[in-house]
Structure 1
Amino acid sequence: MGRPRRAWHSNGYYHITMRGNNRQNIFIDHVDINEYYRILNGVYYKYPFEVHAYCIMTNHVHFLLRSPHVSLGTLMSLINKRYSDYYRHRYHFTGQIYQNRYYSKEVPLPGGMVEVSDYIHRNPIETEVPMVSQLHMYPYSSFPLYYHQRTSPYPFIQLDVLRSIMSGTESVPGTKTIQN
C-alpha cells in the first residue's frame, strides 16, 4: 500500500521540515550549507518557489514555503535528491541521509505565518545548548535579513509578505486585506 498523497494547492503556505536520519548531522560545515543554498537556487530556476522564513540547523532544516507551480512532493524530491547526491559524494556516505520523508503542514493565513516564522527563527536559541545568544547572530536563518532590514541574497527568499503582515498592510493570496 502506497503512502497517501499530501494535500497541496498553489496558494498554500507550508511549514516544511527535513531531518537527518537518527537526528544525525546533515550539514557538517559552512561548505555544506553553501551547497544547500546553491541547490535551492538551482531548483528555483526549474520550479520557482518562495521561502518566507527558513532556518538551517546542523541536523535539520525548516522552511515557510509556497510552491505555486509544482507540488511540494515534486519540489522537495528534487531538493532532497540533489543534496543527498552531494552529501554522499563529499562524505563517501552510504545509506539513508534523511530520517523520513519531509514533514509538511499548511499554515493558516495570515496569523499562522507569523507564528510559524517565529518558531522557525527561534530554533538556534531553543536548542539544549543555544547556538547563539541572539537570533540575529545566527547566519543560516532568514531572521538576520528581517532584523537588519536587508534584501534577499537569493530570488527564492521572499521577505515582503511577512514584513507587510507585521506592519498590517498585506493582502496574502487567499485572504482578505489585513487592517489594523
Structure 2
Amino acid sequence: MTRKRNLNPDSYYHVIMRGNNRLPIFGSHRDMLELMRIFEYAHDQYPFHLLAYCFMTNHYHLLMKTESESLSKIMAHINRRYTSSYSKRYNHVGRIYQSRYFAKEVKSYSGLLAVSIYIHRNPINTKQPLVNRLEWYPYSSYPFYFEESKEAPKFLKLDVLKEYLPHPLEKTNAKYCEFCNKAPVHYTILQNSGGTLKI
C-alpha cells in the first residue's frame, strides 16, 4: 500500500517528474505542447498555480501551489492524462515515469527565488546548454517573465517572485530576469538567507 504524503496545503512545492530509467518523456515539440494543454485542462478542473516551470527532455520541474485539491490528486490527474496521450502517440506499453513525483516544500521567500532560478536555468545548466539565452527556451515560464506582453498560461502567476527580490532591487519582472542571469553570484546569498534548495 502506498504511503500517504503529508503535504502542507498552504505551501509552495518544488515538484519534479522524471522519465523511467531517465529516458525521454518528450519526443517532440508536440509532446511539450500536449503537456501544456493538459496543465490548462487540469487547472480548469482543480485550481492551482505555478510560479515557475521548465520541461526538459526526460523530466520537468514545477514551483507549484494548490488552491483546493491536494497536490497528489492534481499530479495524478496530469500524469495519468499525459501517459495515456504519450502511449497512444508512440504505441508505448508500460510506464513512462520513474516513480511518483518528487515534492519538496519551499519554506521561505528566498527559497522561492532560489528554486525558481534553479528551474529557469535548467536549459543552460546542462553539460551542453540547450540555448544561449534563457528567453530563447520555449518550454519554460522564463520567457513570460522576460517579455510580459506575451500571453501567459492562466495557471502561471507572474506577480509573486518579483516581490521577494532583495533590497535594493526594483520589484519588477525585468529585475527578476536580471537576477536569474546573475544566478551563480546570487545562489550563495539565497541559501545563506534561508533558501531551501541546494544548488
Same fold (TM over 0.5): yes
Q: Does the CA contact (< 8 Å) of 2:51 and 2:156 recur in 1?
A: yes
Deviations 1:7-63 (A, max 9, x none): 223221000000111111111111111111110000100000001000001111100
Q: Which residue of 1 aligns with 2:179?
A: none
Deviations 1:97-140 (A, max 9, x none): 00111000000121110000011011101111110111111111
Write the mapping of 1:1-180 to structure 2, written as runs, cut at 5 A.
Answer: 2-150=1-149, 152-166=151-165, 167=170
The 1:168–1:153 alpha-carbon spacing in structure 2 relative to 1, beyond 3 Å, is: closer
Which deviates the most, 144-153 or 83-92? 144-153
Q: Does the CA contact (< 8 Å) of 1:152 and 1:158 recur in 2?
A: no
Q: Does the CA contact (< 8 Å) of 2:19 and 2:25 recur in 1?
A: yes
Q: Which residue of 1 aligns with 2:187?
A: none
Distance 1:68 1:16 in 2: 16
Q: Does the CA contact (< 8 Å) of 2:144 and 2:152 recur in 1?
A: no
Distance 1:78 1:16 in 2: 15
Superposition deviation, residue 90 in structure 1: 0.4
Instruction: Give the number of equivalent residue pairs.
Output: 168
Q: Does the CA contact (< 8 Å) of 2:14 and 2:61 recur in 1?
A: yes
| SS at structure 2 position matched to 1:36 | helix
Superposition deviation, residue 3 in structure 1: 3.1
Alpha-carbon RMSD across the aligned residues, in angstroms, is: 1.5
Distance 1:51 1:71 in 2: 14
Q: Which residue of 2 aligns with 1:174?
A: none
Q: How high is the sequence identity, in percent, across the aligned residues?
A: 45
Distance 2:56 2:67 in 1: 26
Deviations 1:50-78 (A, max 9, x none): 01000001111100000121111101000
Distance 1:47 1:59 in 2: 25
Q: Does the CA contact (< 8 Å) of 1:125 and 1:135 recur in 2?
A: yes
Q: Does the CA contact (< 8 Å) of 1:152 and 1:159 recur in 2?
A: no
Which deviates the most, 139-148 or 110-119? 139-148
| TM-score, normalisation: structure 1 | 0.88
| SS at structure 2 position matched to 1:101 | coil
Superposition deviation, residue 168 in structure 1: 5.5
